[in-house]
Amino acid sequence: MREKPETGSLRTIDLNADLGESFGAWRMGDDEAVLPWVSSANIATGAHAGDPLTAVRTLRWVKARGVAPGAHPGWPDLAGFGRRPLLFSPDETYAIVLHQLGALQALAHGEGLALHHVKLHGALYHQAAGDGVYAEPVVEAIAAIDPALFIYCPDPSILSDQVRRRGLRVVAEGFADRRYRPDGRLVPRTEPDALIRDPDEAGRQAVALALHQAGDARAVATIGLHGDGIEAPRLARRVFEALNGAGVVIAPPDAARV
């Protein structure tokens, strides 16, 4: 589905989605319906959501679609879906992330795939972006698994600084389905207007991010979507169509461009 637009393309950008977040009888989103419209997938690693069977099923769908597979580790908090800030020591944080990455790496290997990237989930994403106590052990865990992995994260941030300091590769991320404050920060989920549910609005924001027209929002190399909502497939399709219509090539990051 990710054919290139006609000549005169303005930009190449990645479109990623958080997938594999179902757990047993608990169903989250419609991953198969999202996958045709994205170029990379962040697969839950079993701490905030997901389970081994769901991960394997998602990896098979990703492989069939030619989508780049990544790990989506979060805090061990199924009840809070990994969105509650938790306090762990650096050693605990390192072990928590390393355990999740290693598990998904093994499952991916069993399906003939290699992990392409890492994107943290929820509270861990934000805590690592803003606090070196979490950023440093997260980056060390990723480097221990595979220093060639891309790391999707806010940039600039403490996490992106730590990634570069360690010699790993940052992929700056923005969101099509989250609203931003004028200073470029995300509107917190505790506020009623934090989420963008209208596909057309999400498409417009994605194009603005891709073409560097998003006010104070920083330039990004990947645009994120959340796959757990019922509107996720419609949002993903509309964002893809909007980017394609604006002459943007949708493709996962590679070493030549990052």
pLDDT digits (tens, 9 = 90+) for 22-44: 887 778 778 999 999 999 999 99
Average pLDDT over residues 208-223: 78
> Which pLDDT value is given to residue 231?
83
For residue 4, tell me if it sits in a domain.
no
For residue 2, tell me if it sits in a domain.
no
For residue 246, tell me if it sits in a domain.
yes
pLDDT digits (tens, 9 = 90+) for 163-174: 999 999 999 999
pLDDT digits (tens, 9 = 90+) for 48-72: 999 999 999 999 999 999 999 999 9
For residue 15, tell me if it sits in a domain.
yes
Model confidence at 81, pLDDT cuts 50, 70, 90, reads: very high
Question: CA 139 to CA 248: how far, in whole Å?
Answer: 31
Quote the mean pLDDT of the chain.
Answer: 91
For residue 258, tell me if it sits in a domain.
no
- Provide, rounded to the nearest whole percent, the portion of the chain with pLDDT above 70: 92
Single pTM value for the model: 0.91
C-alpha angle 64-14-29 in degrees, rounded to nearest 5: 60
Q: Is pLDDT of 258 > 60? A: no
| Cβ-count burial 129-159 (b if 16+ within 10 Å, e if not) | beeeebbbbbbbbbbebeeebbbbbbbebbb
pLDDT digits (tens, 9 = 90+) for 110-125: 999 999 999 999 999 9
> Which pLDDT value is given to residue 205?
93
For residue 103, tell me if it sits in a domain.
yes
Q: What range does the domain containing 218 cover?
A: 11-250
For residue 174, tell me if it sits in a domain.
yes
Place of tokens 């221990």: 144
Query: For the chain, how many structural domains are there in total?
Result: 1
Average pLDDT over residues 190-198: 88
2 membership: H or E segment, kind and range: none
Place of tokens 């730590």: 162
Q: Is pLDDT of 5 > 60? A: no
CATH number of 245's domain = 3.20.20.370
For residue 5, tell me if it sits in a domain.
no
**E strands in the chain:** 11-19, 40-44, 68-72, 117-119, 150-153, 169-175, 222-226, 248-250
Question: CA 66 to CA 39: how far, in whole Å?
Answer: 8
Question: Which among 150, 141, 187 is positioned nearest to 16, based on CA atoms?
Answer: 150
